[in-house]
């Protein structure tokens, strides 16, 4: 019988799994090497979507994740972390064929998407420079949006704490006791030992290290992600925008979050991870070209995160056949998937059958 579960990692997955376990009556301890949301979850674009995800099982899991966000936001009075404004996307001529194929593919899956003209986009986003928009061929995915991960994590952990869950922060996992085909305890840097009936690996970019402590080899191909958070600006931006030279979304308090793939490559290690100043200025300039009202904007902060990406790009979820009380909840797109996938994993930890839903995402495929 599972009485005490240790969840490793207090990001979006760890918080979601902890909240689901606590709701089901389990005794839970969630541990993190830092503070909740201090890792990848605090440095993510957190775009909620299933826009072109393949294969179909991954698409369907993401759609279910989107619906779980809507359901939680509707359930909690005053919830302020979920924003469903849609996603606008357009490209230059060289990428138009790929965008058309993506829209066609999601429509075949029954996913909401439609094409807009320049005039229709300007009714949604009036502060965009019209000269930056093509006359038509602009894709709109109306059910997509974004979350504010730190607020979501705070809500989930608070809800779990109200049901008896315990948070241990600033205390890294240093070892696992494994005996007779099961994990028996979790060791922390402080010297503390936590006996466990089950362990859930929600350690994000550190998931492979935690798996190794359990004698498992988890292939990962993590990448860096860099985001620029602007100073507050009086610009109307109400949704996610993927333009050819910059990606944007609101970030609360009048701030915007900006990203480009080139910016990701500008992060370097030199006594710590830093980002070249010229790269930040290029991103701001791209934002200013698209939204002229940003001409006086500055970078208030630059956030660098490590994206956890399993070796084949797909989530790793559920129990391990050879170590059945050790479970994974690790993926890219954690912001989209966390509530639904975390609930599936939590249910399986406590003995419920989630075999059909998790079959495509088992560790054993490696």
Which residue among 96, 119, 142 closes a domain?
A: 142
C-alpha to C-alpha distances, 74 to 13, 68, 151, 161, 341, nearest whole angstrom: 20, 10, 15, 21, 19
pLDDT at 341: 98
The verdict on 292 and 317 lying in the same domain is no
C-alpha distance across the termini of the chain, in Å: 29
pLDDT at 271: 56
The verdict on 138 and 285 lying in the same domain is no
Residue 72 inside a domain? The answer is: no
Which tokens sit at 4? Answer: 């005490």
Domain span holding position 234: 223-307
Q: Kindly provide the residue ranges of all beta strands, DSSP E only, lying in 128-213, ordered along the sequence.
A: 138-141, 145-147, 166-168, 173-179, 182-188, 193-195, 198-201
The verdict on 133 and 178 lying in the same domain is no
The verdict on 55 and 125 lying in the same domain is no
Residue 78 inside a domain? The answer is: no
Which residue among 272, 292, 307 closes a domain?
A: 307
CATH code of the domain in which 168 resides: 3.50.50.60
The verdict on 239 and 181 lying in the same domain is no
Residue 73 inside a domain? The answer is: no
Alpha carbon distance 320, 349 (integer Å): 11
The verdict on 206 and 183 lying in the same domain is yes
Place of tokens 């419920």: 352
Is the separation of the CB atoms in 265 and 275 below 8 Å? no
The verdict on 206 and 331 lying in the same domain is yes
The verdict on 12 and 106 lying in the same domain is no
DSSP at 364: G
Is the separation of the CB atoms in 191 and 171 below 8 Å? no
Residue 329 inside a domain? The answer is: yes
Which tokens sit at 80? Answer: 């302020």
Which tokens sit at 349? Answer: 């930890």
Residue 74 inside a domain? The answer is: no
The verdict on 271 and 124 lying in the same domain is no
Alpha carbon distance 102, 16 (integer Å): 30
Split into its structural domains, the chain has a count of 3
Residue 76 inside a domain? The answer is: no
Question: For residues 222-261, b (16+ Cβ closer than 10 Å) or e, as one string?
Answer: bebbbbbbbeebebebebbbbbbebbbbbbeeeebbbbbe
The verdict on 26 and 165 lying in the same domain is yes
Count of CB atoms situated within 10 Å of the CB of 186: 24
Which residue among 107, 127, 142 closes a domain?
A: 142
pLDDT at 256: 98
Residue 8 inside a domain? The answer is: yes
Q: CA triplet 28, 30, 36: central angle to 5 degrees?
A: 145
pTM (predicted TM-score):
0.96
The verdict on 227 and 302 lying in the same domain is yes
Run means of pLDDT, 10 residues per run, the chain, 366 residues: 94 98 98 96 95 96 98 94 97 95 97 98 98 97 97 97 98 98 98 98 98 98 95 96 97 94 79 79 96 95 94 98 98 97 98 95 98
pLDDT at 269: 67
The verdict on 61 and 163 lying in the same domain is yes
CATH code of the domain in which 242 resides: 3.30.9.10
pLDDT at 1: 77
Residue 361 inside a domain? The answer is: yes
């Amino acid at each position: 019988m599972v009485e005490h579960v240790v969840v490793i990692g207090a990001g979006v997955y760890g918080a979601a799994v902890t909240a689901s376990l606590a709701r089901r009556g389990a005794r839970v301890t969630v541990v993190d090497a830092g503070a909740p949301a201090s890792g990848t979850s605090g440095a993510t674009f957190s775009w909620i979507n299933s826009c072109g995800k393949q294969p179909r099982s991954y698409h369907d899991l993401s759609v279910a994740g989107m619906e779980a966000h809507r359901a939680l936001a509707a359930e909690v009075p005053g919830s302020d972390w979920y924003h469903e404004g849609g996603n606008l996307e357009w490209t230059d001529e060289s990428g138009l064929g790929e965008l058309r194929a993506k829209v066609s593919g999601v429509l075949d899956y029954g996913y909401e998407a439609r094409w807009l003209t320049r005039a229709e986009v300007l009714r949604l986003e009036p502060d965009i420079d019209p000269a930056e928009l093509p006359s038509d061929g602009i894709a709109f995915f109306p059910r997509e949006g974004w979350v504010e991960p730190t607020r979501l994590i705070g809500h989930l952990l608070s809800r779990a704490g109200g049901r008896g869950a315990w948070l241990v922060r600033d205390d890294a996992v240093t070892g696992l006791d494994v005996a007779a085909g099961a994990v028996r305890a979790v060791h922390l840097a402080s010297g503390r030992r936590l006996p466990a009936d089950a362990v859930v690996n929600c350690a994000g970019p550190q998931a492979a290290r935690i798996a190794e402590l359990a004698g498992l080899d988890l292939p990962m191909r993590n990448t860096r992600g860099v985001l620029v958070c602007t100073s507050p600006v009086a610009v109307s931006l109400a949704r996610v925008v993927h333009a050819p030279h910059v990606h944007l979304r609101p970030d609360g308090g009048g701030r915007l979050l900006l990203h480009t793939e080139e910016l990701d490559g500008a992060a370097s290690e030199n006594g710590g991870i830093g980002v070249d100043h010229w790269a930040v200025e290029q991103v701001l300039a791209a934002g200013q070209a698209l939204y002229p009202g940003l001409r006086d904007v500055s970078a208030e902060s630059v956030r660098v995160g490590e994206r956890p990406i399993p070796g084949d790009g797909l989530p790793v979820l559920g129990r391990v056949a050879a170590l059945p009380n050790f479970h994974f909840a690790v993926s890219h797109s954690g912001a989209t998937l966390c509530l639904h996938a975390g609930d599936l994993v939590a249910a399986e930890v406590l003995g419920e059958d989630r075999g059909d839903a998790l079959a495509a995402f088992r560790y054993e495929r490696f």
